Amino acid sequence: MPQHSVRLAAALLFAALPACHHGPSSEAEAPAPAHTMLRVVNRNFYDFTIYLVRFGDRVRLGTATGNGTTMFEFPSQFVQTGAVRFEANAVGGTAPAFTEQISVRPGDVVTVQIQP
C-alpha cells in the first residue's frame, strides 16, 4: 500500500503517514470491524490538544502528552467521508499547527509527529 507523507512547518513540524494494517488474508475468515486510529508521536516537551478537522467542523480527540506516544480512535462519522486535517494546540500556547488534508479509510493508522 502506498504511504503518503504531509509536512507543515509552523511553530512545529507536523507529519502524517497513513498506513494500513495487514492481517491474515484468508478468504474464509470474516473481516473484523476495522478501527481507524491516530497515533501522535509527541517529541516536544509540551502537551498538545489534538483536533480532527473536516469541512470546518472541529472535534477534540484528546491530549497528546509531551515526550510520549498517544493513540486516538477516529469518530466513525469521519471515516470514508473525504479528507480530514489534524490540528495541534500546545497547552497554554497560542499558535496552532495543522496538517494538510489526508484521505482516511477504515483500518488506517495515521501517524502524526510533533517535533520539538
The model's pLDDT over 35-62, given as tens digits with 9 standing for 90+, comes to 889 999 999 999 999 999 988 788 999 9
Residue 14 lies in a domain: yes
**43 located within any domain:** yes
Q: Do the domain assignments include residue 24?
A: no
pTM above 0.95, yes or no: no
Q: What does the CA dihedral 80, 104, 50, 43 come to, rounded to 10 degrees?
A: 170
Q: Which of 86, 88, 116, 104 is nearest to 18 (CA)?
A: 104
Residue 57 lies in a domain: yes
Q: What is the count of structural domains for the chain?
A: 1
> With bands split at pLDDT 50, 70 and 90, how would you rate the model's confidence at 71?
very high
Assigned domain for 92 exists: yes
- Taking the C-alpha atoms of residue 62 and residue 39, their distance in angstroms, rounded to an integer, is 12
Question: How many helices, marked H, and strands, marked E, lie in the chain?
Answer: 0, 10
The CATH number that applies at residue 60 is 2.60.40
Q: Using CA atoms in the order 46, 52, 53, 54, what is the torsion angle rounded to 10 degrees?
A: 170
